[in-house]
Structure 1
C-alpha cells in the first residue's frame, strides 16, 4: 500500500500532547500493589521439548489479582549464570505457542521468558494456556473494547499487570541476573512491553516493535485495520460514547507508560504499517523518559524489519549489558520446581 502517515522528518520530531488521567499513577499503583499482595508461588515444571541445546520449563506465575499466567522459560543448556534475560510478550490473538518456536534469544546466550496472554491463543499460532476468569460488559469483536466502559474493568488492565508481574517473577529465578532483564514484543507484544517498562523499575532495556495502543486518539480513525478498528466499530454502535471510551483508553495508552519508562529503548517501525501506524510508534518513542531510538523500515508494513531488526536488537542490547546496575531483589514469590 502507499504511505498514509506523517513523513520521516515529521515523525522524528513528533511529540504530541496525549491525554493523561490525573490518577494514572494511583490507578496503576493500586493495581500492582493489590496483585503483588497475593501470596502465591511460581510453579516450574521441566518439560521434555525434544531440544538438546536448551532447557525448557513450563512456568505458571501469579499475575493480576493472583490469576495463574503461563509462560515458557527457555535457558541455554550449560550456560554459566546468572544470565541476562529477555521477557517476551506475544502478538494479538496468539498464545505462547510451543517452546521451540522462538529460540533466537537463548541461542544468543540469554534466558527467555515467553509469556502467554490471558484469554488469547485461539486466533493463530500454536495455542495458549491461560484463561481470563474476569467478565466484561458489551464489547466489539476482539479485545480492545472488553471493559471499555470502565478502566478498572478493562481487559488490558489485567494484561498489563500480568506483564509487570512477569518481570517480577523472572527476577526471582536463580538462573537470572535481576539487574539484566529486558522486555520485548511485536504489535500487541510491543504494547505490553511498553506497559511493562513503564510499570517496572531497573530494566536494562525495552525493545518494542510496531506497538499498537500508542496515541490511541489519533490512531483510531487514521487506519481501518484491526485491532484499532474494533474501537471505531464499537463507537459506530455506541454513538456519543467517545468521551468515556477515550478516557478509559488513556489509562492504557503507550505514550503515558513511555513517560514513566526509565530504561533505554529501541523501537522498530514500518513506515507503511496500517496496523500500528508509525505516528503512534514515534509518539511513544519521543516521549520515552529513558531515551529511545527508532529504527524505521521505509518500505515495510507491520512485518517491519523481521530478522534484520532482531540482529539490530541483539547488538543494541549487548551494548548495554555491561552498564547494568547492581542486582535487585525479587518480589514476594516462592518458587517451586517440580522434578
Structure 2
C-alpha cells in the first residue's frame, strides 16, 4: 500500500465544487416529516450481559416508514443520570453486535446507544434489523439499492433512522439531551455527518475516516468496495451515470458537512483506499463549525483504530465542557 491521492498540503486546501441539488434541504425536511409522522414509541427492555459495571437495554424504535429499528442502550451500573450521551453508528455491513462489545463509553461515564443499521449485520458484527423495502436492479451490497431515485435510495431510510435513533436515545431517563454526541467510523462516520446536519442541537460529533463523501470523485478514484459497487453497477447499466449521480447528490457527506455547526473531530488515513483521503478532506474542509482532524499518514482504512478511540476519549469531554 502506498500514497495514491493528493499530497497532504493539497488535501488540506481541497475544496471541490459539489453538485448539490437545489431542493436538498426540502428533500430532507420532507423525509424527516414523513418519518416523524409514525408512532414515535420507543421500548427499552433490560438485558443481562454478565458485565457488572454497566446496565444495558435492548431498544426498539420506529425509523423510516415506522419500521422497527434495533439498538443497545448502556450506562454505568450505578449511574443516576442525567449522563452525557454518545450515539454511535457502525461500519458498512456490520451490526449492533452483542451488548458486551460496547463498553468503552459507559466505562468513561457516558450513556451510550449503538444503532443497528437496517438490512446489514452479516459482515464483521451481527445485526438484528431487517430492511423491509425492496428495490429495482442493484449490485450486490447496499450502495445501489434503489439508486434510480432519491426517494427510494437505501441511505434515505438509513439517515432517517439515524435521526430517530438520536431522538430515541435522548428519551431514556439516564440521558442528557443537551450533552449528546454523535460519532462513528467509515459508514458510521458518513451517517454521523448527516446526523450532524439534520439534528442541529448536538453538542459535538466525531467522524472517523468517514465514508459516503464526495461520491463523484470516490467512484472514479478507488477500485475498493463499497464505492466500487457503484462503478460495477454503472459498468452494466450503461448510460445511467447522470441518474445515479443525481441520486447520490442528496446523500453526499460533503453537503451535510457544510451544514454542520457542532464542534467536530475528524480523522483521515492517507493510505486509505476504501475512503480516499481527498473525500474525507472535502467534508472536513467544507465543515463551517469548530473542527479538528487527526491524520494517520501510514494507515489504510483502519485509520487510527485504538489511537483514534483514545483521541475521542480526550476530545469529547473537552467539547462537552465548552458546550455547556
Show the counterpart of 1:28. 28
Query: In structure 1, what is the Cα distance between the partners aligned to 2:53 and 2:211?
Result: 34
Work out whether 1:61 is the aligned partner of 2:61.
yes
Query: In structure 1, what is the Cα distance between the partners aligned to 2:252 and 2:276?
Result: 14
**Contact kept? 2:263, 2:319, Cα under 8 Å:** no
**Contact kept? 1:94, 1:123, Cα under 8 Å:** yes
Show the counterpart of 1:335. none
Show the counterpart of 1:183. 182
Shift of 1:294: 1.0
Alignment of 1:249-268 (within 5 A): 249-268=248-267
Tell me the SS of whatever aligns to 2:287. coil
Which of the pair has the greater relative contact order for Cα pairs under 8 Å at 6+ separation?
1
Tell me the SS of whatever aligns to 1:159. helix
The CA RMSD measured in Å over matched residues stands at: 0.9
**Contact kept? 1:286, 1:292, Cα under 8 Å:** no
Query: In structure 2, what is the Cα distance between the partners aligned to 1:148 and 1:41?
Result: 30
Shift of 1:172: 1.7
Tell me the SS of whatever aligns to 1:206. strand
Work out whether 1:202 is the aligned partner of 2:201.
yes
Tell me the SS of whatever aligns to 2:190. helix
What is the aligned residue count? 324
Query: In structure 1, what is the Cα distance between the partners aligned to 2:19 and 2:314?
Result: 35
Shift of 1:323: 2.7
TM norm structure 1: 0.94
Query: In structure 2, what is the Cα distance between the partners aligned to 1:225 and 1:54?
Result: 38
Gaps of 5+ in 2: none
Query: In structure 2, what is the Cα distance between the partners aligned to 1:38 and 1:260?
Result: 26
TM norm structure 2: 0.98
**Contact kept? 2:205, 2:265, Cα under 8 Å:** yes
Shift of 1:314: 1.4
Show the counterpart of 1:2. 2
Query: In structure 2, what is the Cα distance between the partners aligned to 1:234 and 1:250?
Result: 17
Alignment of 1:159-178 (within 5 A): 159-178=158-177
Shift of 1:168: 1.2
Tell me the SS of whatever aligns to 2:210. coil
Tell me the SS of whatever aligns to 1:177. strand
Work out whether 1:70 is the aligned partner of 2:70.
yes
Alignment of 1:86-101 (within 5 A): 86-101=86-101
- Range with bigger deviation, 69-78 or 32-41: 32-41
Alignment of 1:1-339 (within 5 A): 1-125=1-125, 127-325=126-324
